[in-house]
Structure 1
């Protein structure tokens, strides 16, 4: 059994920090949250979001009504793009500073939430820039209070201490992780997610699966992360086909939102390793590449590398996708191919060559994994030695479908 591989004499930290509201109608909790802000003397809130979904989802109407009721001024920054940049973080923080914001409200998926978290740090640390933050030139201890209204079921950022931004001129996409950017409150309302396109629905849910495959198999994982991983995979496997067929199925959206929340908590506890470390250079070089698609293209090759080091854990968490596993190291190729076929069955058939990467890009991608701040830490947490040969092999084995 997988739990026999857990080291009982290794002390692990188990984290659950954010108060999250889950369920249809959870957006109504924004009224209580704004009432609390008013009691604390906050008079203005910076709202960080993308261009359309904050309105189309219906979230903004609720936010505006609650703000008006409690006398809060809203400063709207709605320029966040997928794979947000440090320039966008600086711009959002400058707007918040001018507005006298005392808190940050993020509305959207991972990109607006990560941008808002980062801006919250800069607002509490005057004189600092986002590039300094993401190049680890300073270590923040404080940030403004953060609330995340999550509009996708994949990021997990609404319940953890992570954020990501791209430093465009360096082609770096680092991650940060600080206790000060745990959202105080998160809202996961499935009714706000029903407008996700079919591809967005696929990609964000695949992101959640990647979170837990990695979190359950790092060198610092804990049994809580493994438990969350198994349930996440079960729920995504059961509900993602349902929601692709019936986008308005709110029960299926609820289950996927819950799975993504668990996945965010899982990697807050177990961290991440190779799939995310190797995806970040992909979307740094091609900013229009959906993060979840990048992960999907890499996942089978990462599983093939890592399964022999954690066969019992992987067999346990992947059994809904690959039933009948015995947890033996030599199952790795079979499991990797089965996961790839599962992804193809969901309609995600792309590999790296499909989005413009070739064999000639592998060395550049390896360089970026080695050079980008924070990615070396993720690689070091993999259950196998993440040397350059291993990283290059994963990229090469992800160029085309497995044979």
Structure 2
């Protein structure tokens, strides 16, 4: 295949609304990015990250050097957790404002980048809180500049306008989507991701897979989102087993990262529907749940639910991982079983019961999927009508 002809060590620019530097060694571009920020008059930044990956990945050494070379002062917030909360965002915003930061740099996967996007908005809306932002109490149209140094190949948030932050006391995990939070620059360097554990490698890649299964089948899907879906699934199917067996294989990491990037662009255009709308309640109720694992446990039942309405598209895009689909509307069960088998081959044991959910939780999860701000909008984009009965059916079929 043509992938072998690409020099993965040559850092290329991918221009969407965000300028993304993709390739082995792309982290070195952080110096050029800091120079560009300095040219815009930015001399103080807040860095948003988790507790350790920013150091362990090697990204921090390059970033710190770039700050020193360009005389940029920084303050560091390192308390972002998986499924970040509004309280973390408010604390980081307070730190940024007290320091006088003029831009936000995120180092991490989806959680730090999404939190950073939220902080960037609130730095411009100083009288607002993260709860107000995620409960849609106001509509922002500005944010300070955002730079994303991405450390996982799953979310696509380094190239899209989405962010997700939880409101713990309500068990809400809403999403926002605003043009003002496209990162100005992003770095996608596969060499920063070789230390991802095998389990996390699987979960983040399954996240990318779900992005395109949904983006290719919403009511607003386009030929573009379907095209990106085809390539994403092909690349994940080919390179995920390689990365699991050899975490240091940079070619595999490169193409999983590229797949994640284009999947982010796919759902930035085609949007999402059932799987994400139903997973957010799972990880809102159980914040320790990895988002990608929650998606993996739901997606077979979602595909079964929507298959009659999206049979041709699903048969095409799923062909690298589920063989023998012809696009006949009656193949929902075959697609369901095929997806479960493929996920099982990656070490994902099917069933929400295995992560602590039971039939008694279904009603609560169903209500959260409709009552959490933003999730109803996603459900409205499903290719078959999303009502409480269909949502319950997916949860029950996923148990």
The TM-score with structure 2 as length reference comes to: 0.96
Structure 2 unmatched runs, 5+: 1-14
- Give the corresponding residue for 1:203: 203
Structure 1 unmatched runs, 5+: 1-14
Find out whether 1:322 has 2:325 as its counterpart. no
CA distance in 1, matches of 2:25, 2:182: 23
| Structure 1 residue 74 displacement after superposition | 1.1
CA distance in 2, matches of 1:72, 1:313: 49
CA distance in 2, matches of 1:342, 1:388: 29
- Give the corresponding residue for 2:194: 194
CA distance in 2, matches of 1:343, 1:46: 39
| Structure 1 residue 354 displacement after superposition | 0.5
- Give the corresponding residue for 1:35: 35
- Give the corresponding residue for 2:80: 80
- Confirm or deny: 8 A CA contact 2:215 2:270 kept in the other structure: yes
- Give the corresponding residue for 1:380: 380
The within-5 A match list for 1:307-318 is 307-318=307-318
Runs of 4+ in 1 over 2 A off after TM superposition: none
| Structure 1 residue 124 displacement after superposition | 1.1
| Structure 1 residue 127 displacement after superposition | 0.6
CA distance in 2, matches of 1:64, 1:186: 17
CA distance in 1, matches of 2:242, 2:271: 29
Cα-to-partner distance string for 1:23-59 (whole Å, 9 max, x where unaligned): 0000011111100111111111110000000000000
Cα-to-partner distance string for 1:61-97 (whole Å, 9 max, x where unaligned): 0000000000001110010000000001101111111
Higher alpha-carbon deviation: 317-326 or 42-51: 317-326
CA distance in 2, matches of 1:164, 1:398: 23
The TM-score with structure 1 as length reference comes to: 0.95
CA distance in 1, matches of 2:290, 2:325: 31
- Give the corresponding residue for 1:97: 97
How many equivalent residue pairs? 385
Find out whether 1:290 has 2:290 as its counterpart. yes
CA distance in 2, matches of 1:53, 1:23: 19
CA distance in 2, matches of 1:172, 1:250: 37
- Give the corresponding residue for 1:264: 264
Cα-to-partner distance string for 1:355-380 (whole Å, 9 max, x where unaligned): 11000000000110111000000000
Cα-to-partner distance string for 1:157-214 (whole Å, 9 max, x where unaligned): 0000000000011000000000000001110000000010011000000000000000
- Give the corresponding residue for 2:174: 174
Aligned to 2:75, the other structure's residue is in SS state strand
Aligned to 2:45, the other structure's residue is in SS state strand
- Give the corresponding residue for 2:389: 389
- Give the corresponding residue for 1:26: 26
CA distance in 1, matches of 2:139, 2:46: 23
CA distance in 1, matches of 2:222, 2:292: 24
CA distance in 1, matches of 2:40, 2:21: 21
Cα-to-partner distance string for 1:292-339 (whole Å, 9 max, x where unaligned): 000000000000001110111111110101233211101111011100
Find out whether 1:279 has 2:279 as its counterpart. yes
- Confirm or deny: 8 A CA contact 2:340 2:350 kept in the other structure: no
- Give the corresponding residue for 1:65: 65
